[in-house]
Chain A
Amino acid sequence: MNDTSDSNDISSAFGRGGKAPRANRRVLPGFGLSLGFAVSYLSLIVLIPLAGVFLRASEISWEEFWSIVTSRRVVASYKITFGISLAAAATNAVFGLIAAWVLVRYSFPGRRIFDAIVDLPFALPTAVAGIALTTIYAENGFLGQYLYPLGLETAYSRIGIYIALTFIGLPFVIRSLQPVLESLDKEVEEASATLGAGRWRTFFRVIFPAILPAWLTGFSLAYARAIGEYGSIIFISGNMPLRTEITPLIIVQRLENFQVAQAAAVAAVMLVASFAILLVINVLQRWSESLGQARG
């Protein structure tokens, strides 16, 4: 039915250089089909099920909800999940910046291998990472045997959680920074050097402001990913209440005890936190894009 109007719109669209911001809705076919399918699919698989969490959490009274989500054990788990995730994301921010810089700017043997392997935490199942890291950092493990005598209990501890979350978040800062570093105009750095700035000064005054939004985006992505992480943590953390118990594990345990409303309450808190971080990431990405467009 829409087809009859298409030919008219195509000519008018081409008349405006093929851009046609408003008319193009009818130029190419399948708008209704593709958008309709995408939205229905997302609603069925993602949105309605997630809404179920809030619906179930709303079945209990506000006082009860509040006492569940602020109970001692749950609050301790927030501190572990959100606190150690922050430490891991910060570690990735520092080393990810160095790694991205080195991978983009320098040539050295093995550079391509290192560049290719950066995505490993993205492709390797978290359970596999969990058992591998636990084996390395356990008391008799490859690295644990040297770290334990130094007083560093690297497995079944918060340090273990930190190690696993650093692994999980590793790709994000590097992959956010690489394209921006590649697109930087070398002439600006040359100009800075010509005007007498040293390399450090050039970095902090010229390069760093240009990569800041991408850097923060990578940091936030690593943080968001770390907060939700479950698979690798349950192997390396030891899962001790109040000490190494993460919030997603609390949800799992409440479900296993058939305390569904309690699980939903804690899950609702985590969902709100995830939404908030996703929003921040969106703002950062838009900032990054506008800087990129300004550069041309």
Chain B
Amino acid sequence: MNSHRHSKQHRVRSSALPQTRSATTEAPWVRTVLISLATGFLALFLLMPLFTVFIEAFRSGISAYFSTFEDRFIRHSIRLTLLTAAVAVPLNLVFGVAAAWAVTKFDFRGKSLLVTIIDLPFAVTPVIGGMIFILIFGAHGYLGPWLEGVNFQVVFAFPGIVLATTFGTVPFIARELIPVMQAQGRDEEYAAMTMGASGWRTFFKVTLPNVKWGLFYGVILCNARAMGEFGGVEVVSGKISGKTNTMTLQIQQLYFDYATVPAFATASLLAILALLTLLLKNIVERLSGRES
């Protein structure tokens, strides 16, 4: 009975699907179910929140949307966010390049430990990224009394916001660069050096052109993360509207004050930034794929 059913099944399958289905793919109905599950999941969790930001931002019309950005406090928060990223991103750019050069061009003991430490800020809750600088620079912190003596404020001020943001975005440029430079190998640099190029010349004329797209995407991603930093700056900034509120903190305050349209309008700027970052990632991947 068992063998009979088996052969019948076999006959039905081979007659119903002549040569269309190879042995390494699934039945059409399985594919349909899997595609529906996957796209449904991604639409529910990704597309819907994204659309919601823009729907809520334009809920009261286009003029209401744009009048949001005439608000003094919102404008200040945008300026503060841009300024913070303008300090944090270059710092992490220099670090990322130095770390990637050391990790990919040399062999040394403790390399994997170094890579793990670079990842650390990504695994640690951003709240701790703000707290650590209060422990050091706060009024009761290790350097607090000394800072008070020289009249320099770190906590609840711009330097603290920059530190928390820098901490949170340490990994991103290094993480994008290391695999690209690893794949590039060391032979071209060796060749440049034998032909008499200096170290810096080798870096700028040989290494940098090879990894420019990976580096570019790393900078853009780091920038998006810096502008979106929240938990760390919330702890360290003191959340003073018009003084230490970054965009994300201003969004939080507006949202909790039931100012829904201004909250989502400000959020829409960061959502656009996120979309541009994703778009750039795709362009970079296609370009670097074509080059290699």
Q: Residues of A at under 8 Å CB distance from B?
A: 6, 10, 13-14, 18, 21-22, 24-25, 27-31, 33-35, 37-39, 41-42, 45-47, 49-50, 52-53, 56, 95, 98-99, 101-103, 105-106, 108, 110, 112, 114, 116-129, 131-133, 135-136, 142-143, 166-167, 170, 186, 189-190, 193-194, 199, 202, 224-225, 227-231, 235, 247-249, 251-252, 255, 258, 260, 263-264, 267, 270-271, 274-275, 277-279, 282
Contacts and interface: CB of A to CB of B under 8 A. Distances in A.
Contacts, number: 295
Interface string B263-275: 1100100110111
A247 to B, nearest CB: 8
B126 A230 contact: yes
Contacts of B267: 125, 127-128, 131-132
Given A45-B167, A106-B34, A230-B126, A18 B263 contact: no
B166 A34 contact: no
Which residue of A34, A56, A128, A264 has the most chain B CB atoms within 10 A of its CB atom? A128
A22 B34 CA distance: 50
A42 B103 CA distance: 14
Contact of A131 (B99, B114, B264): B264
Contact of B255 (A56, A120, A186, A235): A235
The 8 closest A-B pairs by CB, nearest first: A125-B228, A193-B23, A29-B199, A228-B125, A49-B132, A123-B274, A231-B230, A230-B231
B53 A128 contact: yes
Given A125-B248, A227-B125, A114 B39 contact: yes
Contacts of A189: 23-24
Interface of B: 23-27, 30-31, 34-35, 37-39, 41-42, 45-50, 52-53, 56, 91, 94-95, 98-99, 101-102, 105-108, 112, 114, 116-128, 131-136, 138, 140, 142, 163, 166-167, 170, 186-187, 189-190, 193-194, 198-199, 202-203, 221, 224-225, 227-231, 234-235, 248, 251-252, 255, 260, 263-264, 267, 270-271, 273-275, 277-279, 281-282
21 contacts: A13-B190, A30-B203, A31-B105, A46-B121, A46-B170, A50-B124, A99-B41, A103-B38, A108-B39, A114-B42, A117-B42, A120-B278, A125-B274, A129-B49, A135-B52, A167-B45, A194-B23, A224-B123, A235-B252, A248-B126, A274-B120
A45 B162 CA distance: 11
A99 B35 CA distance: 8
B101 A34 contact: yes
Contacts of B95: 37-38, 41-42
Contact of A117 (B99, B202, B278): B278
A260 B95 CA distance: 31
B39 to A, nearest CB: 6
B209 to A, nearest CB: 17
